[in-house]
Structure 1
Amino acid sequence: MYYREGRRGLGWLLLLVFLAGVAVTTAFFVLSSPSKASNLSPGQGAGTQVFTGKAAAANLPPGLGPEAIADIVEAASPAVVRIDTVVGGGNLPSPFNDPFFRQFFGLPLPRQQETALGSGFIISPDGYILTNEHVVEGAREVKVTIVGFDQPFKAKVVGADRDLDLAVLKVEAGKPLPYLKLGDADKARVGEWVIAIGNPYGLDHTVTVGVLSAKGRPIDTQDRHYENLLQTDASINPGNSGGPLLNLKGEVIGINTAVKVDAQGVGFAIPSTTVQPVLNDLMTKGKIVRPWLGVVLQEVTPDIADFLGMSKPEGVLVREVVPEGPAAKAGLKRGDIILQVDGQPVNSASELVKLIQKKQVGQTMQLLVFRRGSRLSLTVTLAEKPSQF
């Protein structure tokens, strides 16, 4: 669990991101122990039905009667999974496991093993699962519990991205699995009903209902920054991380990720529209391949505009150019003002970044640049973003 005061106008916001859901040591197993959590063993919370490999929410009622939410939950729950991880706790080979030998030879004690709990959901019948990266970060063992199976599956992390806090897992179930479809979070309207399903405190397949409270929220935790999150008052608790936020069509419009710790009803989810463009990269390449311009940007203030002889503040200032990067090769220089990208005006660094993110590596961008009182056009070929950036 991580705490940090927010920034960017959200200084009041003290947030808890469920890093790895709920972490406990082996000596304190309360959150995932059946005897101390829910008295349910993993997977019991949603029954023992047998499901086929089809979209779990494909057959929903056309109207929204009094049973609509229950129907959606019944259809979607089989595709929601419990994720248990083990972090640390590597054992020394025998005979050095004996405390006497460790003391005699001056060997350090093994790092204490920690277990953690989170949620996820199946996104394809062949066993691909979407969750938060922080749920599996640093895990040396990942197990996934799926309704209808007696034992959890060992899962492989096939792709992860820390910046977006997304991870894709893979299990081999031997038969098609129920799965959820990603909806369009951009079409979701503030005030719409939403449904969260997950495993808070080890209570498998817990359902909470609320509304979409806001869109486009930026937040900060202790070591992560998030952009463009969905806000909901559907209850989100430790262990919900990675679980789906559903609309009333049974589609996933968000991945439950964070909550404000000193308030009730202020939770956050990564929108499905953030996931969709990068999902194939995570599944096939193990990482997100990002286009890269190779510059450090700064907003154009009135003082900067006046100093550069501009009639008004506009565009984005190039503060630094990475040597041998795409921008440098195209002739962009420190102190240039980028006014337009492909004919579209840009007036903030975030606008420019979003336009870059819509491109693919190898594609070009036409930049209209202000330099020393003149305007010029440059063509930049985007490269793959290096890991150090």
Structure 2
Amino acid sequence: MVNVSDVEIIAPNFKKRLSGVTSTIIQLIPVQRALGEKIAALGPGLPASLPHIHFRDLLKLWQPPRAKRFRIWHARRNIEMLPAILMRDILRMPLKIVFTSASQRRHTGWTKWLISRMDAVIATSGKTANYLEVPNTVVLHGIDTTRFSPADDKVTAKQLLGLDATKTIVGCFGRVRHQKGTDLFVDSMIRLLPTRPDWIAIVAGRATAQHAEFEKELKARVATAGLVDRILFVGEHTNINDWYRTLDLFIAPQRWEGFGLTPLEAMATAVPVVATDVGAFPELLVTGADETGVIVPRDDLDAMVQTSGLFMDNETRRQQASVRARAHAAAAFSIEGEARKLSAVYQSL
């Protein structure tokens, strides 16, 4: 708990369920505070260790913070924009409202109106910016490039997780569901692995109750193909960074994605990436001569098989791309860099 008088930026989180927005808040606030921002969270579903204020503290927002004329309210959802507008425009509290949009679809009239009332708008990608009808600043998400970093010894990294260190590994991490394209990854591996005996594949992530049958069907396909010992479903892990360190190739097969951090996490761990053309993926990878990976059309199994196979069969290409991937992620997508760009938006107000 922090004293609201010392809080200059409020990051509301009005959803109990863990989501990408919640995860962003949890990861960013400690970094923002380390950079000197007097920021605190507000709302449920956040760890107690995160600096936060209570809802009753909203009554104190008529008073600006020490040494400032107003506070910044950084909303990321409609339900977080509306109360800020009421507090600023009806109750005349000294607030400036910033909204971060991650949406990649046409906004409803209601959402457009809410966004039109913002003092500043941030888009999480260029693609997202294209759906906004107001001036905005693109700030791509960043990741912890210390946590997601290459293994000192990949053989040891594999052994520590009980994997066969003699095998080369391709992975697909994230929720197991149709939207995430997990079936495309599995079907690709069913076609690729029989002629590549040195490779195994890992699916890491959880299937929620409504997607349990989907996962069950995928495991049945793997069993029918006789690849149970080579396409491994390892479940969800809090130490997912350790699993990235075992990989030699990462595939992001999503059919739809709002932003998508997994390619960044893979690249930061020095793993080249094959990703579909969804979310921010085309803005994250470098393709061509200085490639960190390759973009393929969404929902195109043949393209995924062909592109992945070319990477799997060319160790030199993978090694060169892995070095560039780590350098690119560290230079362009650190979470500290994201926090500094947010700070610049705040300062502009």
Q: TM-score range by the shorter chain?
A: under 0.3
In our comparison, the structure showing a higher alpha carbon Rg is 1
Structure with higher helix content: 2
Greater strand content? 1
Give the TM-score normalised by structure 2.
0.24
